[in-house]
């Protein structure tokens, strides 16, 4: 249950949002925490043929990028996501800088937001502010189709391309990477994009210390073979003043 400091008498949650284990009154939360609408009011979807589909067989998820950070001057990354029944989007985690928004197109999606569980159906949307613990999975019997946005875009595309590719190559498992040096390189490069919950400060510090060793031994945060851009070129803008900071991928 939310603590008193997170409660507010006014709420942006609607009756359309299904509370799994509590009554609706217990989900009155300020917009600064998260918000939900029954209809998609912010998500402008581009052509469904915007990019190739990539798969993470470990989590049962397929995604296709619709808008990238370079295309939006760093404002956002938008993609379609298909999640099989029983599939999940990684372990519970936070995004230190990015706001994430999920709109269900078909099927149903289950969310845990700061310890509370929610169910979303077609046409419903949920926005999770930065630094808010959350996880997503498909507890239904049919595939869930969502539109997902991250604001700002940062290196979300590169992170997904790399982790999905490593999973397809059998180099990833549910709790992390099989190779600790590769894990260290990704932890350092994508520290602004994601942070798993339950990872001790000691372990995280150790991974950051090991990252330079991984770089020296040839491990990278992004590989050309996993790129979804034409010509297999790593994504990123030409101007260094733009987000994402692709220097973080270069060691």
Write out pLDDT tens, residues 135-151: 999 999 999 999 999 99
Instruction: Say which range, 16-20, 159-163, 188-192, has the weakest mean pLDDT.
Output: 16-20
Phi, psi at residue 11, to the nearest 5°? Answer: -140, 150
> What is the per-residue pLDDT across 203-243, written as a single tens digit (0 to 9) for each?
999 999 999 999 999 999 999 999 887 554 444 333 333 33
Are 195 and 134 in contact by the 8 Å Cβ rule? The answer is no
Instruction: Say which range, 10-19, 122-131, 192-201, 228-237, has the weakest mean pLDDT.
Output: 10-19
Q: Where are the alpha helices (DSSP H) in the chain?
A: 156-168, 180-189, 201-216
> What is the rounded distance in angstroms from the CA atom of residue 2 to the CA atom of residue 157?
32
> What is the rounded distance in angstroms from the CA atom of residue 12 to the CA atom of residue 115?
18
Please give the C-alpha separations between residue 77 and each of 3, 46, 155, 211, in angstroms, as whole numbers: 32, 12, 9, 26
- pLDDT for 103 beyond 90: yes
DSSP state for residue 88 in the 8-state scheme: B
> What is the rounded distance in angstroms from the CA atom of residue 144 to the CA atom of residue 122?
9
Question: Who wins on pLDDT, 21 or 46?
Answer: 46
Domain spans in the chain, listed from the N-terminal domain onward: 4-151, 156-249
- pLDDT for 9 beyond 80: no
> What is the rounded distance in angstroms from the CA atom of residue 197 to the CA atom of residue 113?
13
In this structure, the strands spanning 77-83 and 109-113 are: unpaired
> What is the per-residue pLDDT across 169-185, written as a single tens digit (0 to 9) for each?
988 765 556 789 999 99
At residue 30, the pLDDT reads: 32
Residue linked to tokens 């029944």: 85
Number of CB atoms found within 10 A of residue 60's CB: 18
Which residue(s) pair with 91 in the sheet? none
CATH label, 4-151, candidates 2.60.120.10, 2.40.33.20, 3.40.50.10680, 2.60.120.380: 2.60.120.10
Give the three-state DSSP class for 109.
strand
> What is the rounded distance in angstroms from the CA atom of residue 169 to the CA atom of residue 150?
26
Q: DSSP string of 111-162?
A: EEETTEEEEE-TT-EEEE-TT--EEEE--SSS-EEEEEEEES-TTHHHHHHH
Among residues 199, 194, 207, the alpha carbon closest in space to that of 160 is found at: 194
Question: Who wins on pLDDT, 166 or 174?
Answer: 166
> What is the rounded distance in angstroms from the CA atom of residue 227 to the CA atom of residue 238?
17
Are 125 and 102 in contact by the 8 Å Cβ rule? The answer is yes
Are 75 and 123 in contact by the 8 Å Cβ rule? The answer is no
- Quick one: which H or E segment has residue 173? strand 172-173
Count of positions (residues) in the chain: 251
Q: Quote the percentage of the chain above a pLDDT of 70.
A: 69
């Amino acid at each position: 249950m939310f603590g008193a400091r997170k409660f507010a008498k006014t709420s942006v949650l609607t009756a359309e949002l299904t509370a799994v284990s509590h009554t609706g009154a217990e989900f009155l939360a300020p917009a600064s925490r998260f918000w939900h609408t029954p209809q998609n009011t912010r998500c402008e979807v581009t052509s469904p043929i915007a990019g190739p589909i990539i798969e993470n067989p470990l989590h049962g998820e397929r995604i296709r990028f619709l808008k990238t950070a370079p295309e939006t001057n760093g404002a956002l990354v938008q993609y379609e996501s298909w999640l099989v029944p029983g599939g999940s989007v990684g372990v519970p985690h936070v995004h230190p800088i990015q706001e994430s928004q999920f709109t269900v197109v078909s099927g149903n999606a289950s969310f845990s937001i700061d310890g509370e569980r929610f169910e979303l159906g077609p046409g419903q949307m949920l926005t999770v502010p930065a630094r808010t613990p959350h996880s997503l999975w498909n507890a239904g019997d049919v595939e869930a189709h969502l539109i997902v946005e991250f604001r700002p875009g940062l290196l979300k595309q590169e992170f997904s391309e790399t982790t999905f590719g490593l999973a397809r190559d059998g180099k990833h498992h549910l709790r992390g990477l099989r190779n600790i040096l590769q894990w260290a390189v990704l932890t350092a490069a994508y520290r602004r994009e994601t942070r798993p919950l339950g990872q001790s400060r000691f372990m995280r510090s150790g991974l950051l210390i090991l990252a330079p060793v991984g770089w020296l031994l040839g491990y990278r945060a992004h590989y050309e073979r996993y790129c979804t851009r034409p010509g297999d070129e790593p994504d990123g803008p030409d101007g260094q003043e733009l987000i994402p900071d692709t220097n973080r991928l270069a060691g």
